[in-house]
Amino acid sequence: MALVRTLNGEGIAKFSDYLAALRKDLTLLPPAEILTDGRYSDPFEPPVVVDDRAFADAYQLGLYLNDAFVSCEDRIISRNHGLWSWLGLFYFNELSKRSDDGARKVLENAVYVLDARFSFRKYYRHAVRTPWLAVKEHGEYAKVLLLMSGRGLRSDIGEQLGAYQDLFANRTVISAAYAMYFDGSSQKPRKGTGTKGAGSPRRLSSVSRQLELTYDLQDCGLEHFLSLLPREFKTWVQRARS
C-alpha cells in the first residue's frame, strides 16, 4: 500500500526520460523511488491510499480507483496531470506487460504520463485515468470501452468512441454500444466488432457525430437512439434489442 502523491515537473521529466531510455533497453526498471522523493513528487490532498497489485482488466482497475478516490471531487482530480502521471508510474509494472524474457512493452508516453495541457485526444489514451473516468461516467456499460478479446491496454471500441469527448461522455451512445457490441455472457466484445465496415464501432462513432447535429442524443434514450441508426446497423440493433 502507498499514500498517493503527485509528480511535479521534475518527476514527470524523470519519468519521461525513463520511458525514452526504456525503448532502447527494455530491461530497465522504473524509477519507483521518485514516487516518494520530495524532489520529484508532492503530497496529495485529501490523503488517499492505493494498493500496488494486479487487476484482472481495466474495468476492475476503474472500479478500484473510483472506490479509492470516492472522497475526492471529480472535476478537480480529472485534469490533475501530476496525480495521473504518479499513478501511471505506480502501476507501471502492471501497465507494461512483461514478455516471457522479462522485457517490457512500452507504448507512447500519453499512456503513462498525462500532459499538463488538456487535450482529450491524448487524455483518453491514459491507461489509468481512462478506466477511472469510464467507470465513473458509465458504470457497467464502461466494459464496452475497456474490455477486449485479446491482450492490450485499449480496445478498438474504446479507440473509436473514446477519442471524442462528446461521445465518451454520452451515456446514450455508450449504453447503445454496450447493448450492440458487448457479450455479457463471455464478458468480451462480440465477434465482428473489430471490423471497419458497415455497422462497426468506427461507423457508430461517425454516425453518432452526424446525429448530434440534429438530435440531443444525451436525452433521446436508448430505444430512440437505436431507431435513428441507419440500416447498416440492423443486425447489431437486433442483438441489442434481444
- pLDDT of amino acid 175: 96
Q: What is the pLDDT of residue 194?
A: 76
d(C-alpha 65, C-alpha 227), whole Å: 35
Q: Which domain holds residue 110?
A: 1-149
Same domain? 116 vs 178: no
- Residue 98: pLDDT band (50, 70, 90) is low
**pLDDT score recorded for residue 193:** 83
In the structure, what pLDDT confidence band is assigned to residue 153 with cuts at 50, 70 and 90? low
What pLDDT is recorded for position 99?
Answer: 61
35 shares its domain with 113: yes
134 and 159, same domain (yes or no): no
Cα–Cα distances (Å) from 76 to 51, 81, 83, 118, 163, in that order, read: 22, 11, 11, 13, 21
Q: What is the pTM of this model?
A: 0.92
Residues 6+ apart with CB under 8 A from 122: 110, 115
Question: Is the domain of 168 the same as that of 62?
Answer: no
Residues 126, 54 share a domain: yes
- Count how many domains the chain has: 2
**Mean pLDDT in the chain?**
91
Q: Point out which residues pair with 2 in neighbouring strands.
A: 50
The residue from 118, 149, 180 where one domain ends is: 149
User: 84 and 198 share a domain?
Assistant: no
Residue that finishes a domain, picked among 149, 182, 215: 149
What pLDDT is attached to residue 101? 62
Instruction: Extract the C-alpha cell encoding 64.
Output: 478500484
End position of a domain, from candidates 106, 123, 149:
149
